């Protein structure tokens, strides 16, 4: 009986704002050749909306729109990107900030693979919303719109703790 396969179990984090109105899910790659600690997708959803209309945006790591370093995930918002046309479900807001006015979303989760935790363990996290530059053609530092505290749960498919 073989216990190994060519893929890995899905893992990541499911994070909620403190008031539970916003949910951010990040999932890692399942194919070893892509790096199973590399992010695959980030989904933002508004939990106050009716079922079937909750999704605000989906970011994929196919292009440059989503990257991570350890448990810090950066989603680049670019309406000009052909991939983005189907990525942003609507021009809604993320806790009061219009998605169209944002440049990046950064999710930090207090997690390290050097100190793994059991599935469903609650970890602190933060969502940083970075506003677009005010002048399109000029490089300047963006300003953070706000930082939102998150409660994140470690997600491991089938509840297995993988090292």
**Assigned domain for 3 exists:** no
Counting the structural domains of the chain, the total is: 1
Q: What is the extent of the structural domain holding 73?
A: 11-159
**Assigned domain for 6 exists:** no
**Assigned domain for 2 exists:** no
**Assigned domain for 146 exists:** yes
Q: Name residues of the chain where pLDDT drops below 50.
A: 1-6, 85, 134-138, 161-163
**Assigned domain for 81 exists:** yes
pLDDT value of position 39: 87
pLDDT value of position 26: 94
Rounded to two decimals, the pTM is: 0.81
DSSP string, the chain: -----SS---EEEEEEETTSSEEEEEEE--SGGG-TTSEEEEEEEETTSPTT--EEEEEESSSSSEEEETTEEEEE--TTSTGGGGTB--S-EETTEEGGGEEEEEEEES--TTS---TT-EEEEEEEEEEPPSSTTS-----EEEEEEEEEEEEEGGG----
pLDDT value of position 2: 43
């Amino acid at each position: 009986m073989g216990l190994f396969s060519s893929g890995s179990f899905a893992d990541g984090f499911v994070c909620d704002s403190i008031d539970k109105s916003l949910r951010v899910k990040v999932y890692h790659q399942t194919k070893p050749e892509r790096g199973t600690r590399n992010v695959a997708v980030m989904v933002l959803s508004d939990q106050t909306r009716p079922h079937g209309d909750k999704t605000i945006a989906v970011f994929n790591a196919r292009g440059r729109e989503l990257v991570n370093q350890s448990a810090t995930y950066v989603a680049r918002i670019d309406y000009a990107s052909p991939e983005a046309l189907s990525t942003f479900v609507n021009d809604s807001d993320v806790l009061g900030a219009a998605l169209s006015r944002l440049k990046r979303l950064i999710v930090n989760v207090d997690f390290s693979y050097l100190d793994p935790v059991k599935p469903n363990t609650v970890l602190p996290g933060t969502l940083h919303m970075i506003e677009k530059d005010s002048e399109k053609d000029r490089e300047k530092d963006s300003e953070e719109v706000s930082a939102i505290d998150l409660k994140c749960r470690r997600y491991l498919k089938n509840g297995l703790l993988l090292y």
